[in-house]
A and B are shown apart, each in its own frame.
Chain A
């Protein structure tokens, strides 16, 4: 239990009268990749958006139950503090178009008004870009605009931006669904490396991707957590019939 970074307890989320997640219970250990899979509209994106409290930005959004980061209730924390500890990478690469690659990486510091010496900042940029496997491609163009990069590079820039803040967890919301196969493979390779330092939650509707990169998988269907366990186990001997049907492509 002491290794669990994230604990979701009896958690439900809704928009207005419409309940999207029912009674989710889930624990994520440190330094693993946890995949959340399920058909479109099942609530998996809503779940990770609740974890960094982006869900509550939508008018009419409501939640019950609790989510803990280590033993801190995230709904008691200040959302701006929480979001620095839980990074997020979105479906569509979204580097800041007004900023250079360098500034994009340290955007979390710059935008929050956190000052640090130039040498330290250079260090953060290099380390984050190296960890995101982007350093070699951009080290000579750090002061070009981030939007000049290709889609896959932009997405890795966004990963570097999240890494720069030294988060406990990074949430990935279908990070490869807008990318070509080669960029997808690069990002999947990254997960294996990044696991050493950070815990990752990956929302994906790509079953094969969940199988390739994750240690544990949660299958969410119609707002309910159907099954949660080690990926290998779930993909070979699913406990629930619905999981089996989803994995074998009977629906989805």
Chain B
């Protein structure tokens, strides 16, 4: 009897130890990644690196200015395309819990989330690049917009479902038409959640490379024309890292560092918004 209790206590300690250890192990990759990127990347970062364009092979120096501009342009483009559609779909889902269209949208969102990004790239190629006969920022924006959609739709739906029904009633009882009730009462009440969703989806697509390979394509010159190929940070990292030159390898680290800082800050801002702007009902 006595021994039995001891054995159980030992198992307890063992179990606690193991979950602690495994939890720690699962954190390791993140910290190792951050460590390597910071160690190798931060030394490269200086004004020249941030503000100059890539140079031709054989010429020393160069930077990622066009890639930063390109990534920002892609974010704006894909956001403009996906945010209105995503929020509208989210409102529709929150308002129509059942019904054929609602359920098929819900299923599509789940499926869309699981589609490999390279496939989305190919689709954007067929839709935009083929008819326009050129790689373009626009096609990259479309590919990334498709990737943003599921996150925006889901978070909008979930947030709006949490907005109490009695707020909507209060507005309708004042004689406010349905569309104004949705736009002026329900949406603002769920704004922090929706913004968080948008930022998280932006953080998600900022690092995407695969769908950009045959859409935005990459460009070693500065370009701000949406109908022309455009550079982006992930693509620039890929390009620099694949080269045989040690200097370019360190550039890849530097660009990775910028990208990681960008995504981490987006995530932190999103967390800040969702806790700071939280509305108490």
B48 at the interface (CB under 8 A from A): no
Chain A interface size band reads 20 to 34
Q: Is B180 a contact of A108 with CB atoms below 8 Å? A: no
| Residues of B with C-beta under 8 A to A79 | 175
B39 at the interface (CB under 8 A from A): no
Q: List 12 A-B contacts (CB under 8 A).
A: A80-B177, A84-B175, A87-B174, A90-B170, A98-B279, A107-B171, A108-B174, A108-B175, A111-B171, A111-B174, A111-B181, A162-B174
Which segment, of B153-161, B184-192, B246-254, faces chain A?
B184-192
**Bound complex: CA of A112 vs CA of B173, how far in Å?**
12
Q: Is A112 a contact of B180 with CB atoms below 8 Å? A: yes
Chain B interface size band reads 20 to 34
| Residues of B with C-beta under 8 A to A87 | 173-174
Given contacts A94-B164, A97-B280, A147-B281, contact A54 B175 (CB under 8 A): no
* B163-213 with Cβ < 8 A to chain A: 164, 166-167, 169-177, 180-181, 184-185, 188-189, 191
Closest CB-CB distance, A188 to chain B, in whole Å? 22
When C-beta atoms are compared, the residue in chain A nearest to B166 turns out to be A94
| Residues of B with C-beta under 8 A to A98 | 185, 188-189, 191, 279
Q: Is B281 a contact of A83 with CB atoms below 8 Å? A: no
* The 9 nearest A-B residue pairs measured at CB: A84-B175, A83-B175, A88-B173, A108-B174, A111-B176, A94-B166, A98-B188, A94-B170, A97-B279
Q: When each residue 80-105 of chain B gets 1 if its CB lies under 8 Å from chain A and 0 otherwise, what string results?
A: 00000000000000000000000000
Among A88, A97, A111, point to the contact of B189 (Cβ < 8 A). A97
A92 at the interface (CB under 8 A from B): yes
* A156-171 with Cβ < 8 A to chain B: 158, 161-162, 165
**Bound complex: CA of A147 vs CA of B189, how far in Å?**
12
